[in-house]
Structure 1
Amino acid sequence: MKHKYLIEQMTLEEKASLMSGKDFWQSQDIPRLGINSMFLADGPHGIRKQAAAADHLGLNPSIPATCFPTAAAVANSWNVELGRKIGDYLGKEAVAQKVNVLLGPGVNMKRDPLCGRNFEYFSEDPYHAGKMAAAYIQGIQTHGISACVKHFAVNNQEERRMSIDTIVDERTLREIYLTAFEIAVKEGGTQTVMSSYNMLNGEYTNEHLHLMREILREEWNFDGVVVTDWGGSNDRVAGLLAGNELEMPTTGGETNEEIIQAIKSGKIKEDVLDECVDRLLNLIFKTEEVFKGAEPQPIDVDLHHRAAQEAAEESIVLLKNEDGILPLKPGVKAAIIGDFAQEARYQGAGSSIVNPTRLDHTLDCLQEFGIVSLGYEPGFERYGKKNRKKLERACALAEKAEVVLLYLGLDEATEAEGLDRQNMKIPDNQIELLHALQQVNPNIVVVLSCGAAVEMPWIGKVKGLVHAYLSGQAGAKAILRVLTGEVNPSGKLAETYPLRYEDTPACHQFPGKEVSVEYREGLYMGYRYYDSANVEVLFPFGYGLSYTTYEYSEIRVDRNGVTFNITNTGNRAGMEVAQLYVGCGDGQVFRPRKELKGFTKVFLNAGETRTVTIPFDDKTFRYFNVKTNRWEVEEADYQIMVGASSADIRLAASLFVEGTGAPVPYDKNELPSYYTGRANKVGKQEFETLLGRKVPVSTWDRTKPLGYNDTIAQCQYAKGWAARLAYRLMVFAYWFLRKIGKRSTANIIMMSVYHMPFRGIARMTGGVVNMPMLDGILMMVNGRFFKGLRHFLKERSKMLKAAKQKEQRVLAAEER
Structure 2
Amino acid sequence: MIDSILDKMTIEEQVSLLSGADFWTTVPVERLDVPKIKVTDGPNGARGAGSLVGGVKATCFPVAIALGATWNPDLVERMGVALAQQAKSKGAAVLLAPTVNIHRSGLNGRNFECYSEDPMLTAELAVAYIKGVQSQGIAATIKHFAGNESEIERQTMSSDIDERTLREIYFPPFEQAVRRAGVMAVMSSYNRLNGTYTSEHAWLLTKVLREEWGFDGIVMSDWFGSHSTAETINAGLDLEMPGPARDRGEKLVAAVREGRVEAATVRAAARRILLLLERVGAFEKKPDLTEQAVDLPEDRALIRRLGAEGAVLLKNDGVLPLAKTSLDRIAVIGPNAASARVMGGGSAQIAAHYTVSPLEGIRAALSNANSVSHAVGCRHNRLIEVAKGKITVEYFKGRGCRGTPLHVETVDKGEFFWFELPSGELDPANFSARMTMQFVPEESGDHVFGMTNAGLARLFVDGRLTVDGHDGWTRGENYFGTANDEQRGTVALDAGKAHAVTVEYDPPVATGEGINLTAIRFGVEKPLGEADIEDAVETALNADVALLFVGRDGEWDTEGLDLPDMRLPGRQEELIERVAAINANTVVVLQTGGPVEMPWLGKVRAVLQIWYPGQEMGNAVADVLFGDVEPGGRLPQTFPKALADNSAMTGDPAVYPGKDGHVRYAEGVFVGYRHHDTRAVEPLFAFGFGLGYTRFNWGEPRLSASEMGAEGVTISVDLTNIGDRAGSELVQLYVRSPKSRVERPDKELRAFAKLSLPPGETGTAEMRILPRDLAYFDIEAGAFRAEPGDYQLIVAANAADIRFVIDLPSPLDYLLPPSHQATSLIA
> TM-score normalized by structure 2?
0.77
Q: In structure 2, the residue corresponding to 1:86 is in which secondary structure?
A: helix
Aligned to 2:238: 245
Take 1:271 and 1:24, find their aligned partners in 2: how far apart are those partners? 27
**Partner amino acid for 1:616?**
I
Take 2:766 and 2:359, find their aligned partners in 1: how far apart are those partners? 44
User: As a proportion of its length, which structure holds more helix?
Assistant: 1
Report if the CA contact (8 A) 1:144-1:290 is conserved.
no
- Give the percent of matched residue pairs that are identical in Structure 1 and Structure 2: 38
Aligned to 1:687: none
Distance 1:249 1:335, change over 3 A: same
Report if the CA contact (8 A) 1:95-1:291 is conserved.
no
Aligned to 1:620: 773
Aligned to 2:10: 11
- Write out per-residue CA displacement over residues 125-176 of structure 1, whole angstroms, 9 at most, x where no aligned residue: 0010011011000000111110000000111110110100111111001000
Aligned to 1:759: none
Q: CA deviation at 1:259?
A: 1.1
1:74 aligns with 2:30: no
Report if the CA contact (8 A) 1:77-1:315 is conserved.
yes
Report if the CA contact (8 A) 1:145-1:290 is conserved.
no
1:120-519, aligned counterparts within 5 Å? 120-252=113-245, 254-289=247-282, 292=285, 299-332=294-327, 333-370=329-366, 373-383=371-381, 387-508=529-650, 509-519=655-665
Q: In structure 1, the residue corresponding to 2:589 is in which secondary structure?
A: strand
Report if the CA contact (8 A) 1:346-1:449 is conserved.
no
Report if the CA contact (8 A) 1:381-1:387 is conserved.
no
- Write out per-residue CA displacement over residues 61-90 of structure 1, whole angstroms, 9 at most, x where no aligned residue: 132111000000011000000110000000
Q: In structure 2, the residue corresponding to 1:85 is in which secondary structure?
A: helix
Q: In structure 2, the residue corresponding to 1:340 is in which secondary structure?
A: coil
Q: CA deviation at 1:288?
A: 3.5
Aligned to 2:57: 64
Aligned to 1:24: 23
Point out the more displaced range, 323-332 or 468-477.
Answer: 323-332
Take 2:283 and 2:622, find their aligned partners in 1: how far apart are those partners? 39
Take 1:186 and 1:661, find their aligned partners in 2: how far apart are those partners? 20
Take 1:251 and 1:605, find their aligned partners in 2: how far apart are those partners? 57
Q: CA deviation at 1:289?
A: 4.1
**Partner amino acid for 1:352?**
A
Distance 1:179 1:254, change over 3 A: closer
Q: CA deviation at 1:102?
A: 0.2
Aligned residues: 656
Take 2:646 and 2:38, find their aligned partners in 1: how far apart are those partners? 41
1:586 aligns with 2:739: yes
Q: In structure 2, the residue corresponding to 1:537 is in which secondary structure?
A: coil
Point out the more displaced range, 610-619 or 20-29.
Answer: 610-619
Take 2:613 and 2:227, find their aligned partners in 1: how far apart are those partners? 36
Q: In structure 2, the residue corresponding to 1:631 is in which secondary structure?
A: strand
Aligned to 1:536: 682
Report if the CA contact (8 A) 2:718-2:765 is conserved.
yes
- Write out per-residue CA displacement over residues 314-372 of structure 1, whole angstroms, 9 at most, x where no aligned residue: 11111100144434453412111112110121100010001111211333333432375
Q: CA deviation at 1:239?
A: 1.0
Q: CA deviation at 1:383?
A: 2.1
Take 2:790 and 2:323, find their aligned partners in 1: how far apart are those partners? 48
- Write out per-residue CA displacement over residues 173-225 of structure 1, whole angstroms, 9 at most, x where no aligned residue: 10000011111111121100000011111111121111111110011100000
- Write out per-residue CA displacement over residues 242-298 of structure 1, whole angstroms, 9 at most, x where no aligned residue: 111100011446522221111101112100100000011010122144982897997
Report if the CA contact (8 A) 1:587-1:636 is conserved.
no
- Write out per-residue CA displacement over residues 450-500 of structure 1, whole angstroms, 9 at most, x where no aligned residue: 111111111112101110001110011100000000001110000000000
**Partner amino acid for 1:632?**
R
Take 1:210 and 1:600, find their aligned partners in 2: how far apart are those partners? 35
**Partner amino acid for 1:24?**
F
Q: Which runs of 5+ in 2 are unaligned?
A: 383-526, 817-827
Aligned to 2:88: 95
Take 1:326 and 1:552, find their aligned partners in 2: how far apart are those partners? 24
Distance 1:327 1:547, change over 3 A: farther
Take 1:291 and 1:196, find their aligned partners in 2: how far apart are those partners? 32
> TM-score normalized by structure 1?
0.78
Q: In structure 2, the residue corresponding to 1:530 is in which secondary structure?
A: helix
Point out the more displaced range, 292-301 or 310-319.
Answer: 292-301
Take 1:148 and 1:273, find their aligned partners in 2: how far apart are those partners? 21
Report if the CA contact (8 A) 1:540-1:647 is conserved.
yes
Q: In structure 2, the residue corresponding to 1:523 is in which secondary structure?
A: coil
**Partner amino acid for 1:420?**
D
Aligned to 1:34: 33
Distance 1:428 1:357, change over 3 A: closer
Take 2:283 and 2:591, find their aligned partners in 1: how far apart are those partners? 38
Q: In structure 1, the residue corresponding to 2:632 is in which secondary structure?
A: coil
Take 1:541 and 1:9, find their aligned partners in 2: how far apart are those partners? 56
Distance 1:120 1:63, change over 3 A: same
Report if the CA contact (8 A) 2:733-2:752 is conserved.
yes
Report if the CA contact (8 A) 1:95-1:143 is conserved.
no
Distance 1:661 1:287, change over 3 A: closer
Q: CA deviation at 1:386?
A: 5.5
**Partner amino acid for 2:332?**
I
Take 2:144 and 2:169, find their aligned partners in 1: how far apart are those partners? 14
Take 2:293 and 2:581, find their aligned partners in 1: how far apart are those partners? 52
Take 2:380 and 2:599, find their aligned partners in 1: how far apart are those partners? 20
User: As a proportion of its length, which structure holds more strand?
Assistant: 2
**Partner amino acid for 1:418?**
G
Aligned to 2:800: 647
Aligned to 1:737: none
Report if the CA contact (8 A) 2:380-2:571 is conserved.
no
Distance 1:290 1:67, change over 3 A: farther
Q: CA deviation at 1:424?
A: 0.5
Report if the CA contact (8 A) 1:144-1:289 is conserved.
no
1:545-694, aligned counterparts within 5 Å? 545-557=691-703, 558=705, 559=708, 560-617=713-770, 619-660=772-813
Q: In structure 2, the residue corresponding to 1:283 is in which secondary structure?
A: helix
Take 1:355 and 1:572, find their aligned partners in 2: how far apart are those partners? 37
Take 2:87 and 2:751, find their aligned partners in 1: how far apart are those partners? 31
Aligned to 1:115: 108
Take 1:216 and 1:197, find their aligned partners in 2: how far apart are those partners? 17
**Partner amino acid for 2:355?**
L
Q: In structure 1, the residue corresponding to 2:40 is in which secondary structure?
A: strand
Q: CA deviation at 1:589?
A: 2.7
Report if the CA contact (8 A) 1:19-1:277 is conserved.
yes
Q: CA deviation at 1:563?
A: 1.3
Distance 1:81 1:624, change over 3 A: same
Q: In structure 2, the residue corresponding to 1:234 is in which secondary structure?
A: coil
**Partner amino acid for 1:283?**
L
Distance 1:662 1:20, change over 3 A: closer
